[in-house]
Structure 1
Amino acid sequence: MNITVEVKADKELLEVLTAIKNALTVDKQAEVKPMTLDEFVEDPVKEAHKYTLEAVRAKLTELSRAGKRAEVNELIKSYGVSKLTDLPEEHYTDIMKKAGEL
């Protein structure tokens, strides 16, 4: 089956469309391996950024030095711990998000 599309557009759009066309062009000599669902769908949990204790400490130290020491202490206490080293690793991403909002 052949599909022909004529598009009148600027140079950048034509370059993008040409790249898409080239990516979709299948070499008839090459063996085509079907993708599994896991290969096709990206897992957002797997792709989530993993923070380290050092990265969290650096961010909170930066905020403390910027005059937000009380807010940082309250943020840490909101997780039911008194110091950052007691914070479970599974909360690092969440605390970094909240620290970014301070």
Structure 2
Amino acid sequence: MSKIKLLLDVVGDMRSLADSIQAVCDAMGTDESAESTKLTTETKPTKETKLTLEEVRGVLAQKSQIGFTSEVRAIIQKYGVNRLSEVDPKHYAKILKSAEELGNE
């Protein structure tokens, strides 16, 4: 492949990335973010699926972004720690259940 072709491919990829970032920003500015949060938190973990720190962090971050920062902090501190990464993974399902209740009260 020629260098020009490689550069054109990089430019195309960068444009695609920029479009994706713009779509995320647009979604955050509309009600779509609240709807996606609701969909994400409505999925209940089953015993077969093992929750990861990243999954729990994602749900809590979404809740925090829509205005439940202090409640999210309280959920984490309920387990005797100050950071989510310090929580024992066996509590992840309970944390998600608590997060689901935020905004439904």
TM-score normalised according to structure 1 size: 0.53
| Cα distance in structure 1, aligned partners of 2:92 and 2:78 | 13
Please give the secondary structure, in 1, of the residue aligned with 2:79: coil
Match status 1:95 vs 2:95: yes
8 Å CA contact 1:60, 1:72 repeated in 2: yes
Q: Which amino acid aligns with 1:73?
A: R
Cα distance in 2 for partners of 1:101, 1:52 equals: 20
Q: How does 1:18-29 map to 2 (within 5 A)?
A: none
CA contact (8 A) 1:50 1:93 kept: no
After the TM superposition, list the runs of 4 or more consecutive aligned residues in structure 1 that deviate by more than 4 angstroms.
none
Measured in 1, the distance between the counterparts of 2:79 and 2:63 equals 18
What amino acid is aligned across from residue 95 of structure 1 in structure 2? I
In our comparison, the structure showing a higher alpha carbon Rg is 1
Offset of 1:50 from its aligned partner?
1.8
Paired residue type of 1:61: A
CA distance in 2, matches of 1:54, 1:88: 13
Listed as ranges, the gaps of 5+ residues in structure 1 are 1-46
More helix by share: 2
Q: TM-score, normalised by structure 2?
A: 0.51
Q: Does 1:83 align with 2:83?
A: yes
Distance 1:96 1:78 in 2: 13
**Matched residue, 1:17:** none
Q: Which runs of 5+ in 2 are unaligned?
A: 1-45
Count of aligned pairs between the two proteins:
56
SS in 2 for 1:96: helix
> Superposition RMSD on alpha carbons, in Å?
1.0
2:66 — aligned with what?
66
* Residue identity matched to 1:79: Y
